[in-house]
Amino acid sequence: DKRDQILIKLLTEPRSIEELVKISPFYGKKPFAKEILDYFEKMMIEKHLERLVKKGKVLRLNDEFIVR
């Protein structure tokens, strides 16, 4: 999945979900409704990270994630 690959490229160093939301890998710039778009971006990031952890591609270290 394209979004999985985007996250994998960003996780060469440990990052929290909050850091990833600030980077905004899926929505990019948010010219309007930033709070709403941040919420949906966070939900999407969490789902993709959950799947990547289950597949063994990403490791969770407390509140941060990194590529295995």
If residue 65 lies in a helix (H) or strand (E), which one and from where to where? strand 64-67
Kindly report, residue by residue over 16-27, the tens digit of the pLDDT: 999 999 999 999
Residue-wise DSSP of 13-24: S-EEHHHHHHH-
Residue 68: inside a domain? no
| Position 39 in a domain | yes
Residue 63 counted as domain residue: no
**Total domains in the fold of the chain:** 1
Q: What pLDDT, on a 0 to 100 scale, did the predictor assign at position 30?
A: 85
> Is 31 or 3 the better-scoring residue by pLDDT?
3
- Asked whether residue 29 is assigned to any structural domain, the reply reads yes
Provide the percentage of residues in the chain whose pLDDT is more than 70: 100
pLDDT at 31: 85
CB distance 49 to 65 below 8 Å: yes
| Residue 5 in this model has a pLDDT that exceeds 90 | yes
Position 23 in a domain: yes
